Structure 1
Amino acid sequence: MCKLNILVERIPSLKFTSFFAKVHIFLHHKHISKKCCLLVTLYKIRRLVVYPKGNEEDNGRGFVSMYVECLSSTTPPIDVFAYLTFFVFSEEEKKYLSIQDVEVKRFNTSKTVWGLSKALSIETLKDCAKGFILYGELHEFGAHVKIVSRPVSFGEDLHFHKFSWTIRDFSLLRQNDCVSKTFHMGEKDWTLTLYPKGDSRADGELSQHLHLADGETLFKGELIFVRVNLQVLDPRGSDHLTGSINGWVMASTKAMCLPQFMPLAKIQGSYLDREGTLEVEIECEVVNSIKNHPCF
């Protein structure tokens, strides 16, 4: 499960397609729920459910578990898609810790509860320096639900792409980086950047980054989940260097750092052909594309 933790000054404002629920609880409670009415959606009543000592049935031991539940009497006969964000108030920061699940959730008659079994560790919650204790053992939790239309490619893979890159005279390169030709994947153009001398995060190792091409932009709320398989080809056999990674590309990054697993000394000694050429292959696909996430 992918989630992001950030601090926000204010809770989201009420909208016709979203709601925020807030509840104060004490840590010694086993669990507590809060009913909240939503003005205009197919769900008319939802409930925030908090397990301050963790939901052990959902592998949440040692963590605060937080869920949003649709009551059975109001469950709609069709699928409803929503983004979930959970909050814990920090008295020290005077802000809410926002715990965001960046994947859209599908509520229906067979799945009425979604949430995070490991939203926040109990150790962190009880740390006085973090400021999550208001007074005594009182804590403030909240949840924000944003109803959206069916997301692009929900449960579907978009087009798979294979890209080959030949880098000549690799050992003679003097520049700090090399940029590949542009290739198309999903709805965007991309490039691969290679650092033949490594970078500050990968000293002594070949470093590569997958980037959105120049001129490509991600709008507010737009996220792209990419899966990447990378190979440096063995010119003398089949002992290729391989690695894989997946993750979100968003407006704040526009790039993904590929696996750091290729020592430059090994590449210089075993993975250049007689002309000093390096062959790189990348297989990548857009697994999910989100157009309007409310928190990004």
Structure 2
Amino acid sequence: MRRFSCKQNSDFLTHLDPVTLNANISSETQFIIAASANVGKLKEHPPSSYSLKIHNFSQFKKSTAFSDHKYKSRIFSSGGYNWRMIIYPKGNQKDNGIGFISMYVEIDTASLMVFTPPSDVFAELRFFVYNKKENKYLTIQDIEVKRFNALKTVWGLQQVLPCDTFINPDNGYIFEGDQCEFGVDVIVCPPLTNWEILSFTEKFSDSKFSWAIKKFSELKENVQTSKSFSMGGKKWFLKLYPKGNSSANGKCLSIFLYLTDCDKPKADEKIFVQANFRVLDPLGSNHFRYPLEKWYTEQTPAWGWAQFLSLAGLPKRYLDKEDTLKVEVELKVVSATKYSST
């Protein structure tokens, strides 16, 4: 068993925990995960972001001695950003990679400067090494999303395969003389575009609205409508049915709290309301109270009660000497939602 690892240092920013690999490669070969963020196995699917095929690996390895022992690929695009794949054929000695093939991905810093301030780019990485013997790709997937930015431009694996395993033709990574293939997939996580922020207002400068309905006993209209009032960032009004609405059968007072047209919830919007409704006792000792806790939506821009208060005892208990009925609504909580446009 051979051990793979990857760590973070000042030269390359990596983050891979130890994993082990069975040296006897087969079609079912896969990494044995030991508290690791990496998953590796042989797969048929080739890389889709970038592939580097090398004809004469021995000469390739020698040539990197003149470029800090690494080879940087041509720039390729993925997810709207430019990248390079970096190969260390003898391993990255600055990152504990000696004796292994080391592979990294570097983001082109010019891609980061498109936004002000420079943006963070989150990407998933998959590294590939072709195995001709199995006609599959050794694929190492890091399940942790990597964060690229101006300070952290490189992420990767410092110990992909032991060099001895890689260069042995019997294992299938070197084939047809001295050929090999490396690859990478860079899957860029798109920026967040759909969101909502839900908040609740619990403190109001004036949380109560009072409405005095004069000459209540003489009202002829079926419904009374209050003036509009602002509270909790919304505009509201009350509707009161002195003899009850169609559901009250003339036996109960009906009352409802409406949002004005300009503040009605739009499609898929909702507003939570917690309120207290009161019919005030003129003597101030026995108010009739009922709580409301409801979500207002496009389909239900009003809530209340068809059978709020029995009309039988209303005149005696709740009308003052001037035949005035006083109604009060107190808002306790009103929600608000900010959301992305679609």
**TM-score, normalised by the number of residues in structure 1:** 0.46
Larger radius of gyration: 2
- The structure, 1 or 2, with the larger RCO (C-alpha pairs under 8 Å, 6+ apart) is 1
